[in-house]
Structure 1
Amino acid sequence: MPHGALPELARGEQVLATAQEDGSGHWVVLTTWRLFERTAEGDSVVERPWHEVDSGAWDPDEWLLTVDFVDGADPRRWRLRDRTGPGSVPVVLRDRTTASVVLTRAIDLGPRRTARVTVRKVLHTRELVEQVLLGPGARTVDRDLARAVHEARRDVRDQAGLDPDPPQLV
């Protein structure tokens, strides 16, 4: 990996895995606290702390790594076959994403009425943050779903040692 592509690391942060994307030549860099996509010149295309990574999937048949983010930003897809191969990137991605999850509660009231409430740890500071993700087609105006989400939020916040009275969702 070119030295210029390495991100500036915070004190105590370490690079755990890297791989070069086949099409763009960008570098996927996984550190103890963040996920990066970097150009060879050192520009960040993606820079996300692990608690903002919702999920990742490795497709070994296609040599394709896909990452989804909790804020609904477009997923990133990296083909990691020809330049460097995936190395330990898929395993480290799963490990770091999982390490940030403290508690999660799934809510399923039927089709288009699902949600997930999660307390995640900001790995750099160890601060706990709450995330509420509505499932496909779910709507905030669904009163039963809103009530179930509120109850789940109270429960996971209490279990995680946060104030069980959750703030209003925007």
Structure 2
Amino acid sequence: MRLWRRPTRVVGPPVPPPEGKPDAYPSAVVAELERDEKVLATAREDEHGHWLVLTTWRLLERTPGGEAVLDLPWLSVDTGAWDPDAWALSVIFVDEGSRRWVLQRRTGPGQVPQVFRDRTTASVVLMRQVDLGPRRTARVTIRKDLRTRELHEQVFLGRGARREDRDLMSAVLIARQELRGQVGMDPVDGVA
């Protein structure tokens, strides 16, 4: 006989089950996949009903009819975060654009948060932070195109950092040279 029972605790209103299943996507959504490219996770976003398709090589957003809304290789994804309270996946792209998809009502998130993290992390080969103090930071990253295996260098200046800061750009150049040397990329001369 149990003498103590943990009370059931519900925070906020109950969440209704999703209308559909994440893996029940229409064939038009994945019609243009490349040879050997595999679908790893899918979910339908709530606002427009577009399908978010995460493949071995790319992040795709497609209409139910298969029209491309977003088609980017994983190395174009800078950062992202899954917010379980808002059921939202937020993404910041290398070109400084961003997107936010709510994945609750139509299909739920399925495996999207886990696969998103895995694929984004898989494209990072090496990364080096450069920190010279407040408003003087940068990040140098060597990323891999998961389809071709080509290596690409990316340099991101931190918030408030300026390219005119000679000390910062010298430290970035040193970090670039070190990382490129470690992965066998051609050396770089000059400024970042």
Query: TM-score if structure 1 supplies the norm length?
Result: 0.95
The alignment status of 1:77 with 2:100, answered yes or no, reads yes
Residues 1-170 of structure 1: matches in 2 within 5 Å?
A: 1-73=25-97, 75-166=98-189, 168-169=191-192
Distance 2:127 2:58 in 1: 21
Amino acid across the alignment from 2:27:
H
Cα deviation, 1:57-107, whole Å, max 9, x if unaligned, reads 00001101001111112x110000111000000000000000000000001
Q: What SS does the aligned partner of 1:23 have?
A: coil
Deviates most, 106-115 or 58-67 = 106-115
Distance 2:88 2:55 in 1: 20
Q: What SS does the aligned partner of 2:130 have?
A: strand
Structure 2, unmatched stretches of 5+, are 1-24
| Cα drift, residue 110 of structure 1 | 1.3
Query: TM-score if structure 2 supplies the norm length?
Result: 0.84
Aligned residues: 168
Between the aligned residues of both structures, percent identity stands at 62
| Cα drift, residue 164 of structure 1 | 2.6
Computing the radius of gyration from Cα coordinates, the structure with the larger value is 2
Q: What SS does the aligned partner of 1:82 have?
A: coil
